[in-house]
Chain A
Amino acid sequence: MEFDAIKIEVENLTLSYGKRVVFENLSFDIFPRSITALVGPSGIGKSSFLKILNQMIREEEGLHVEGKVLLHNKGLSVDILKLKECELPSLRKKVLYVAQHPDLLPLSIYDNVAFGLRLQGIGKNDINNRIEMSLRDVFLWDEVKERLHVKADILSGGQQQRLILARALAMRPDVLLLDEPTASLNEELSLKIEDLLISLKQKMTIVMISHFKEQVKRVADVIFEMRLPS
Chain B
Amino acid sequence: MKFLFKFGLVVSVITTSSLVFLILAFLLYFSIPLFDSAIFVGFFTQKWDVSKSLYGLLPMILGTIYISVLATFFATAMSFSLASLSEGFLPKKIATVVEGIIVLLAGVPTVLYAFVALFLLVPLINIYFFMGKGLSIFTASFVLAFVVLPTIYVMMLSAFRGVPKKHIKTSLCLGATKKEVFFSIMLPQAKPALLGAIVFGFARSVGDTLIALMLSGNSLHMPNTLFDSARTLTSHIALINANDYESVAFKAIFLCALLLFIFTFFVVATLKYLYKEKRYA
Given A105-B185, A115-B184, A90 and B173 contact (CB-CB distance below 8 Å): no
Contact B173 A167, beta carbon cutoff 8 Å: no
Is A119 an interface residue when CB atoms closer than 8 A count as contact? yes
Is A97 an interface residue when CB atoms closer than 8 A count as contact? yes
Given A103-B166, A106-B189, A116 and B174 contact (CB-CB distance below 8 Å): yes
Q: How many Å lie between the Cα of A105 and that of B164 in the bound state? A: 10
Select which of B164, B167, B174, B184 is within 8 A of A92 by beta carbon.
B174
Contact B171 A105, beta carbon cutoff 8 Å: yes
Contact B170 A105, beta carbon cutoff 8 Å: yes
Contact B167 A89, beta carbon cutoff 8 Å: no
Q: Which residues of B contact A88 (CB under 8 A)?
A: 172
B20 CB, min distance to chain A CBs, angstroms? 36
Given A103-B166, A106-B167, A106-B189, A119 and B172 contact (CB-CB distance below 8 Å): no
Contact A103 B176, beta carbon cutoff 8 Å: no
Contact B175 A90, beta carbon cutoff 8 Å: yes
- In this complex, what residue of A is CB-closest to B177? A89
Contact A56 B174, beta carbon cutoff 8 Å: no
Q: Which residues of B contact A167 (CB under 8 A)?
A: 174
B98 CB, min distance to chain A CBs, angstroms? 20
Question: Which of B164, B166, B175 is most buried by chain A, counting CB atoms within 10 A of its CB?
Answer: B175
B121 CB, min distance to chain A CBs, angstroms? 40
Contact A119 B166, beta carbon cutoff 8 Å: no
Q: Considering the complex, which residues of chain A in the window 64-90 have a beta carbon less than 8 Å from any beta carbon of chain B? A: 86, 88-90
Select which of A54, A106, A120 is within 8 A of B173 by beta carbon.
A54
Contact B170 A92, beta carbon cutoff 8 Å: no
Q: Considering the complex, which residues of chain A in the window 35-57 have a beta carbon less than 8 Å from any beta carbon of chain B? A: 54, 56
Chain A interface helix/strand/loop/mixed? helix
| A 84-122 to B, binary, CB cutoff 8 A, 1 in contact else 0 | 001011111100110100011110000000011001100
Is B49 an interface residue when CB atoms closer than 8 A count as contact? no
Q: Which residues of B contact A54 (CB under 8 A)?
A: 173
Is A188 an interface residue when CB atoms closer than 8 A count as contact? no
B29 CB, min distance to chain A CBs, angstroms? 50
Select which of A86, A96, A106 is within 8 A of B174 by beta carbon.
A96
Q: Which residues of B contact A105 (CB under 8 A)?
A: 167, 170-171, 185
Q: Considering the complex, which residues of chain B in the window 122-154 have a beta carbon less than 8 Å from any beta carbon of chain A? A: none
B179 CB, min distance to chain A CBs, angstroms? 10
Contact B175 A89, beta carbon cutoff 8 Å: yes
Q: Which residues of B contact A119 (CB under 8 A)?
A: 174-176, 180
Given A103-B169, A105-B167, A116 and B175 contact (CB-CB distance below 8 Å): yes
Q: Which residues of A contact B166 (CB under 8 A)?
A: 103
Q: Considering the complex, which residues of chain B in the window 152-202 have a beta carbon less than 8 Å from any beta carbon of chain A? A: 164, 166-167, 169-177, 180, 184-185, 189
Q: Which residues of B contact A97 (CB under 8 A)?
A: 173
Given A105-B185, A115-B184, A119-B180, A93 and B169 contact (CB-CB distance below 8 Å): no
Is A59 an interface residue when CB atoms closer than 8 A count as contact? yes
A56 CB, min distance to chain B CBs, angstroms? 5
Question: Which of A59, A86, A89, A91 is most buried by chain B, counting CB atoms within 10 A of its CB?
Answer: A89
Q: How many Å lie between the Cα of A95 and that of B164 in the bound state? A: 24
Contact B169 A56, beta carbon cutoff 8 Å: yes
Contact B172 A92, beta carbon cutoff 8 Å: yes
Is A171 an interface residue when CB atoms closer than 8 A count as contact? yes
B92 CB, min distance to chain A CBs, angstroms? 10
- In this complex, what residue of B is CB-closest to A51? B173
- In this complex, what residue of B is CB-closest to A93? B175
Contact B173 A103, beta carbon cutoff 8 Å: yes
Q: Which residues of A contact B173 (CB under 8 A)?
A: 54, 56, 92, 96-97, 99, 103
- In this complex, what residue of A is CB-closest to B179? A89
Q: How many Å lie between the Cα of A44 and that of B185 in the bound state? A: 32
Contact A92 B185, beta carbon cutoff 8 Å: no
19 other A-B residue contacts (CB within 8 Å) besides A56-B172, A105-B167: A56-B169, A59-B172, A89-B172, A89-B180, A90-B175, A92-B175, A97-B173, A99-B170, A103-B169, A104-B170, A105-B170, A106-B164, A115-B184, A119-B174, A119-B175, A120-B175, A167-B174, A171-B174, A171-B175
Contacts from A to B (Cβ < 8 Å): 54, 56, 59, 86, 88-93, 96-97, 99, 103-106, 115-116, 119-120, 167, 171
* 17 examples of A-B residue contacts, CB within 8 angstroms: A56-B172, A56-B173, A86-B177, A89-B176, A89-B177, A92-B174, A92-B175, A93-B175, A97-B173, A103-B169, A105-B170, A105-B171, A106-B167, A106-B189, A115-B184, A116-B175, A119-B175
Contacts from B to A (Cβ < 8 Å): 164, 166-167, 169-177, 180, 184-185, 189
The 9 closest A-B pairs by CB, nearest first: A93-B175, A92-B175, A103-B170, A116-B174, A89-B175, A89-B177, A56-B173, A119-B175, A97-B173
